[in-house]
Amino acid sequence: MDQQGMVKRRLAVLVGCNYPNTKNELHGCVNDVLAMKETLLTRFGFKQSDMEVLTDEPESKVKPTGANIKAALRRMVDKAQTGSGDVLFFHYSGHGTRIPSVKPAHPFKQDEAIVPCDFNLITDIDFRELVNQLPKGTSFTMLSDSCHSGGLIDKEKEQIGPYSSSDRSPDMETTTTAITSRALPFKEVLDHLSSLTGISTSDFGTHLLELFGDDAGLKFRLPTMDLMDLLEKMRAREKHMDAGILLSGCQADETSADVGGSSGKAYGAFSNAIQTVLEENKGALKNKELVIMARDVLERLGFHQHPCLYCSDQNADATFLSQP
């Protein structure tokens, strides 16, 4: 309960995309979210009834499409109550990508996005808009084990960012283990969308609107002037509502590793590092501590990725998922 005696709810959406039987297939993403589900239940006080798990396993009834993921996130936010101190958590394991920025002020930069199983991209603006809808006093923690995941909540403050160019990761120790990147280059995503629409254009928005209509991301649905207006409104709200906490599997310009496959249990390197840190430290950990320790685990194992933390100064020192 919070100081006013209101019951604090713990709500979660867990998404794992392995893209089975495609050229983009991964192996550890579903395992990542199932392991996290068990951790949330046994350690952090979450209830089964307050979680939604979306995977693209053949037997899954609800697939992790862009529309389904956003709908699940919206349901989670709608359940949160003002002043309750509710804890919201989103774990995503799957491919990530970077696309040319559609922000009017940054036409030559790149923006980050996750890649649902139907390639209906969810971008940093979509996550920013979601966070800005949170009731006062609520927290939203996003753990993204995907490539280019640094900065996935637009305008969130960088607390633990890129290593300098002089830093060097050690050579991979586990050379016998299959390592797959969780990155989908811009051209591959564009080629896939083009094959579905049959339209010859390099404009992402055209393809996404043709395929998904109103379920496409905000960046692709809004005219330039409306997007500028939305961004200005978001900036105004960010000063008062900065409840987003992003734990990214790597820097915005890095890839995240998917480990294993045919033999042995597959997993995401970052998700596994988080689980390792939690197992080795039974007490409550600050968000900043958790990310630093996960970096140490990955460096020790020889992975060339550097997890980052984006959130307010207050949330950097807050306890991960408000562990009792």
Task: Enumerate the active-site residues.
Answer: 95, 147
Look at residues 143, 130, 51, 159 and name the one whose alpha carbon lies nearest to residue 93. 143
| Beta pairing partners, 309 | 160, 247
Distance in angstroms (rounded) separating the CA atoms of residues 82 and 72:
19
Q: Which pair of structure tokens corresponds to residue 53? A: 């798990």
Distance in angstroms (rounded) separating the CA atoms of residues 272 and 114:
19
Give residues with Cβ within 8 angstroms of 300, minimum separation 6: none
Amino acid at 154: D
Distance in angstroms (rounded) separating the CA atoms of residues 64 and 53:
9
* DSSP string for 2-60: -TT-PPPPEEEEEEE---TTSTT--SSHHHHHHHHHHHHHHHS---GGGEEEEE--TT-
Distance in angstroms (rounded) separating the CA atoms of residues 122 and 101:
13
Please give the helix or strand (H or E) that residue 96 lies within, else none. strand 96-100
- The owner of tokens 């790597």 is 250
Q: What are the strands of the beta sheet with 267-268, ordered from one edge?
A: 179-181, 257-259, 267-268
Beta strand 308-310 with 244-248 is: antiparallel
Look at residues 256, 216, 209, 225 and name the one whose alpha carbon lies nearest to residue 103. 225
Q: Which pair of structure tokens corresponds to residue 147? A: 């490539």
Radius of gyration of the chain (CA): 19
In degrees rounded to 5, what are phi and psi of residue 36?
-65, -40
